[in-house]
Amino acid sequence: SKSTPACMAFLRILAECGHCQHLLEILIDREVAEETQPQMLFRRNTLLTKLVGLYFQLLGHEYLWGVLGPPLESACNSTLLKTNLHDLTPAEEQAHLAEELSLCQQLCDMVVMNVIRFPPTLHRITRYLFLTVEAKFQDFGVTVIRSFVFLRFICLAIIDPHRFGLMDHPAPPPITSKLVLVAKMMQRVANLSSRLDPGLSREFIEKNRRSMSEFVQHLASPVPEAASSDRFETPLSEMPDPALILCRCGHVNRWAKTSCSQCKQI
């Protein structure tokens, strides 16, 4: 919306001054206090939902770039995913679904394998959110974190990587439609949902259940004391152990590129 740049500038100033955390905690308290249905928390497009979403986008850029950037870049260069679904034969449709499922698995792997790189500042928000929701709606804290972090942060970045600064140009329409499907798959996996989308099997959800649950539990747990203050995080590129990069053959490549030296040798 037109107000987004102004809100981002406002949040940036508050973050630099160290006051953003306090403001968001006040808004979280208000949102939870006024809500009567825990399953609707952060589902509506309220002021808090917008501000927290923008705050995550602002301080989570380096994290998203390191974790989601490589597999999304690879997907956007995929010849198969660029093909219009209406032009596919039944056999090609199956190959298409397999490609989407493979991308979803790569994204799941990157998210859970880089759990310790989730920005501490955002971790404080998810921890406070968990405690606040649990105080009023017992056993809903983890559910709300699971819903918000994926629905308003990770999955939005998958759907529109250009808007989140993960790509230089918007993805072409055929790719965008596939990214929307993959984001829906990702949300189902994160929710451990029994409702299945085309190509998303119950076995796939079970395969990722433990690692995804551990990721969300980490976001509900206390923030390590060594974590940085309410300021911009250290870029992943400056960390001694950079984010893991997974290539399509399944090899782990620790360099900030999508090509794999092991693949080239096969």
List per-residue pLDDT tens for the chain, 266 residues long: 566 777 778 778 877 777 788 888 888 898 889 888 888 887 777 777 888 888 888 888 888 988 888 888 888 777 666 566 666 677 777 777 788 888 888 899 899 888 888 999 899 999 999 999 999 999 899 989 988 899 889 999 999 988 888 888 888 888 888 899 889 888 888 887 766 565 567 788 888 888 999 999 999 999 876 555 444 444 444 444 444 544 445 444 444 444 554 454 43
Angstrom distance (rounded) from CA 153 to CA 132: 20
What pLDDT score does 1 carry? 59
What pLDDT score does 239 carry? 45
What pLDDT score does 102 carry? 85
What pLDDT score does 61 carry? 86
Q: What string of H, E and C letters represents the secondary structure of 83-115? A: CCHHHCCHHHHHHHHHHHHHHHHHHHHHHHHCH
What pLDDT score does 218 carry? 93
Angstrom distance (rounded) from CA 73 to CA 190: 22
Angstrom distance (rounded) from CA 148 to CA 150: 6
Angstrom distance (rounded) from CA 129 to CA 145: 7
What pLDDT score does 101 carry? 85
What pLDDT score does 177 carry? 85
Joined tokens for residue 257: 């590129």
C-alpha closest to that of 247 among 49, 19, 79, 74 = 74
What pLDDT score does 198 carry? 57
What pLDDT score does 124 carry? 92
